[in-house]
């Protein structure tokens, strides 16, 4: 990123300051306000970071107006069609598509790390059987720093690399274990002869009493879901990972913080909420009632899987996901799926509605993903853990980028204090 030579002028009281404008590779210029407080004595106010770039990044770019998403410059549609998840992981982590040899080596490294420490099995048993798998993920991933203390030194590049590989490799195993635990079924060990997605499906759905053949249609669809969710620049969970990492916290703790943030219904929890909403609507004749509720300011209800902070056009991931939902249901011979019918009709009605048009609310990635995951056999509670598995690589790539950035500092926002002014303590008998 270069100084563009241009400046933005800011005037207040009797002060006038020239702020350097920084020009990114693509996207709007950013006013560099780092010296604003030192030179002008004022802060900026931007809750939710709606106009604030928190870092420089080379990993992912979103053009919200065009509805475009690029990983290291490559459009998501091309990657979803032509690439596969582990190749995308390599691209996100190292910046370029791998050669055949580099890919083979990377896949071998990931595959060799898919098992978790045997002692972790006992750790799972401390959870209630009905615990949400995301609750288990937050706890178990955080606990990885206790199981793998030899890769927690953030100042050692080799340890950072090992921790990264461990997390990408073990996250599907941990998510599958969380699922198996909730069912009361035995954990299924990973298999090194299967690819990443097929191995995950097998760990979730096979049981020791029967053979289990992974359906290649489903593993391709699973791989595409992983790819579509792999990174999304400075979203809430990624920013959480960066903020946690900015203090020098170990990578497992940082990713656990990201998982906690992802769980919220405004973020990764929306895929579970979207499918639950579609099921609650149940039939197309009830859609107008829910559209009316979404528009009613006195009703907290929102159309889940709709709207996005950055996309003010179609989320390109939603387009691929919609197509994938059609394909998967078709290939599985699931005809007349009522939920898919409701989703398509809801999308059609909302897109023609003035409220949604005016506010530029379009379906996001979570709108159709649940339909595919349900068709594969996953309960809604597993949807967000699957998002966490996919996003782990993005979190790690962003965390590594932050650690290597010489401009990185501990994240420490300012505030506008609007509380009580200084006052004296009052003894309890005098209150």
Q: How far apart are CA 221 and CA 218, in angstroms?
A: 5
Q: How far apart are CA 228 and CA 237, in angstroms?
A: 16
Nearer to ligand CMC, 45 or 417 (CB): 45
Q: How far apart are CA 237 and CA 400, in angstroms?
A: 15
Nearer to ligand CMC, 57 or 235 (CB): 235
Tally the residues of the chain. 431
* DSSP-assigned letters across all residues of 195-233: -HHHHHHHHHH--TTS--PPPHHHHHHHHHHHHHTS--S
Nearer to ligand CMC, 252 or 311 (CB): 311
Nearest approach in angstroms of CB 48 to ligand CMC is 6
Residue 233 near residue 62 (C-beta atoms within 8 A)? yes
Nearest approach in angstroms of CB 28 to ligand CMC is 17
Residues involved in catalysis: 308, 366
List, in order, residues 6 or more apart from 122 with CB less than 8 Å away.
Answer: none
Residue 38 near residue 59 (C-beta atoms within 8 A)? no
Nearer to ligand CMC, 358 or 407 (CB): 358
Nearest approach in angstroms of CB 241 to ligand CMC is 14
Nearest approach in angstroms of CB 217 to ligand CMC is 25
Nearer to ligand CMC, 52 or 215 (CB): 52
Nearer to ligand CMC, 308 or 319 (CB): 308
List, in order, residues 6 or more apart from 245 with CB less than 8 Å away.
Answer: 154, 251, 254, 399, 402, 403
Tell me the residue nearest to ligand CMC as measured from the CB.
307
Nearest approach in angstroms of CB 256 to ligand CMC is 17
List interacting residues with ligand CMC (CB under 6 A).
235, 266-268, 270, 294, 302-309, 359, 361, 364-366
Q: How far apart are CA 94 and CA 165, in angstroms?
A: 12
Nearest approach in angstroms of CB 266 to ligand CMC is 4
DSSP run (H or E) holding 63: strand 60-63
373-377, long-range: CB < 8 A, 24+ apart: 373/225, 373/271, 373/275, 374/275, 374/339, 375/325, 375/328, 375/329, 375/332, 375/334, 375/337, 376/201, 376/218, 376/221, 376/222, 376/328, 377/204, 377/205
Q: How far apart are CA 279 and CA 285, in angstroms?
A: 13
Nearest approach in angstroms of CB 315 to ligand CMC is 7
Distance of CA 11 to the CA centre of its chain: 39
Nearest approach in angstroms of CB 234 to ligand CMC is 11
Nearer to ligand CMC, 107 or 347 (CB): 347
What residue has token string 């048993």? 125
Residue 217 buriedness (CB in 10 A; 0-12 / 13-18 / 19+): middle
Nearer to ligand CMC, 116 or 320 (CB): 320
Q: How far apart are CA 392 and CA 256, in angstroms?
A: 10
């Amino acid at each position: 990123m270069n100084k563009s030579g241009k400046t933005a002028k800011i005037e207040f009281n009797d002060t006038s300051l020239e702020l350097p404008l920084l020009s990114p590779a693509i996207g709007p210029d950013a006013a560099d306000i780092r010296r604003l407080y030192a030179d002008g004595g004022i802060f900026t106010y931007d809750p939710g970071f709606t106009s604030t770039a928190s870092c420089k990044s080379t990993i992912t770019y979103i053009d919200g107006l065009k509805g475009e998403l690029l990983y290291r410059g490559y459009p998501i549609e091309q990657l979803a069609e032509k690439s596969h998840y582990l190749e995308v992981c390599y691209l996100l982590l190292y910046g370029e598509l791998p050669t055949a040899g580099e890919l083979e080596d990377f896949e071998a490294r990931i595959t060799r790390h898919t098992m978790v420490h045997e002692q972790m099995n006992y750790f799972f048993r401390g959870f209630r059987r009905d615990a949400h798998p995301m609750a288990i993920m937050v706890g178990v991933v955080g606990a990885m720093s206790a199981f793998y203390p030899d890769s927690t030194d953030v100042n050692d590049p080799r340890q950072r690399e090992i921790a990264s590989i461990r997390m990408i490799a073990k996250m599907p195993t941990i998510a599958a274990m969380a699922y198996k635990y909730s069912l009361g079924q035995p954990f299924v060990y990973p298999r090194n002869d299967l690819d990443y997605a097929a191995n995950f499906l097998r760990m979730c759905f096979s049981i020791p009493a029967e053979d289990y053949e992974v359906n290649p249609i489903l593993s391709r669809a699973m791989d595409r879901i992983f790819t579509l969710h792999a990174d999304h620049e400075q979203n809430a969970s990624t920013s959480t990972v960066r903020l946690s990492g900015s203090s020098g916290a170990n990578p497992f703790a940082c990713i656990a913080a990201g998982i906690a943030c992802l769980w919220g219904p405004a973020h990764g929890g929306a895929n579970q909420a979207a499918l639950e909403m579609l099921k609650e609507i149940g039939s197309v004749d009830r859609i107008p009632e829910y559209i009316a509720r979404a528009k009613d300011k006195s009703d907290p209800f929102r159309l889940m899987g709709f709207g996005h902070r950055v996309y003010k056009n179609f989320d390109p991931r939603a387009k691929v996901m919609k197509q994938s939902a059609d394909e998967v249901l078709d290939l599985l011979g699931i005809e007349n799926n009522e939920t898919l019918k409701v989703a398509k009709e809801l999308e059609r009605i909302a897109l023609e509605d003035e409220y949604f048009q005016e506010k530029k609310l379009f379906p996001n990635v979570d709108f159709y993903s649940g339909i595919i995951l349900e068709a594969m056999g996953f309960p809604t509670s597993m949807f967000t853990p699957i998002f966490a598995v996919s996003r782990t690589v993005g979190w790690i790539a962003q965390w590594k980028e932050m650690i290597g950035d010489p401009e990185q500092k501990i994240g420490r926002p300012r505030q506008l204090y609007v509380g009580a002014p200084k006052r004296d303590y009052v003894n309890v008998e005098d209150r």
